[in-house]
């Protein structure tokens, strides 16, 4: 494991790599979000009193996708074959799977199982990434907080319906 030096960031390669991470993470997230929007089914569900307004999800996820992409990029720059990178890819796959399962499949309990897996993978990334890049690890803390809240919301809606 070689930590990149300041000189490593003076070439276009790391910045191009960051751009790719941002475009892929935000782009795939946006594509999934536009294809699995809350509709009449979601509106008809009984929700707990702490359910936030729908408009909050877009800005929160955009911000989180930026931090997720930057964290992945930072680990990639240190060691693209690391355990941390494997966990990063796994959490990304589960993250992208949740919305179609919830909104398109209308499967509340399977979506809850997926979000619990996302939580576990976020925690695993925070722990494993710390030995490669502490900043990348800390970038996942807001993601952990939001997905913890989203898990409680998912569970509450599943129980209520």
Domain boundaries, the chain: 6-160
Q: According to the model, what pLDDT value does residue 11 have?
A: 72
CATH level 3 topology of 6-160: Ferritin (1.20.1260)
> In this structure, what is the dihedral angle of CA atoms 154, 156, 157, 161, given to the nearest 10 degrees?
140
Give the pLDDT confidence of 84-128 residue by residue, as tens digits.
999 999 999 999 999 999 999 999 999 999 999 999 999 999 999
Q: According to the model, what pLDDT value does residue 117 have?
A: 98
Local confidence band at 4 (pLDDT 50, 70, 90 cut-offs): low
The structure tokens 């992208």 sit at 96
Neighbours of 7 (CB within 10 A): 7
Give the pLDDT confidence of 45-65 residue by residue, as tens digits.
999 999 999 999 999 999 999
Q: According to the model, what pLDDT value does residue 10 have?
A: 73
Q: Is the pLDDT of residue 1 over 90?
A: no
Q: How far apart are CA 132 and CA 137, in angstroms?
A: 9
Residues sharing a CB contact under 8 Å with residue 89, sequence separation 6 or more, in sequence order: none
Helix H or strand E segment including 51: none
Look at the pTM and tell me if it is higher than 0.85. yes
For the chain, give the number of residues: 161
Q: How far apart are CA 10 and CA 108, in angstroms?
A: 47
**In terms of DSSP H, where are the helices of the chain?**
12-35, 40-44, 57-78, 83-99, 108-129, 134-139, 141-160
Neighbours of 111 (CB within 10 A): 22
């Amino acid at each position: 494991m070689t930590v990149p030096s300041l000189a490593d960031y003076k070439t276009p390669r790391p910045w191009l790599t960051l751009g790719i991470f941002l475009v892929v993470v935000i782009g795939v997230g946006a594509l999934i979000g536009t294809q699995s929007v809350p509709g009449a089914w979601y509106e008809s569900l009984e929700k707990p009193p702490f359910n936030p307004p729908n408009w909050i999800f877009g800005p929160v996820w955009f911000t989180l996708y930026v931090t997720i992409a930057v964290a992945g990029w930072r680990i990639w720059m240190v060691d693209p074959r690391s355990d941390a990178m494997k966990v990063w890819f796994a959490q990304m796959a589960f993250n992208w799977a949740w919305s179609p399962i919830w909104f398109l499949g209308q499967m509340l309990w399977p979506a809850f199982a997926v979000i619990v897996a996302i939580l576990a993978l976020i925690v695993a990334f925070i722990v494993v990434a710390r030995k490669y890049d502490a900043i990348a690890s800390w970038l996942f803390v807001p993601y952990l907080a939001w997905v913890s809240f989203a898990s409680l919301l998912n569970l509450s809606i599943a129980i209520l319906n």
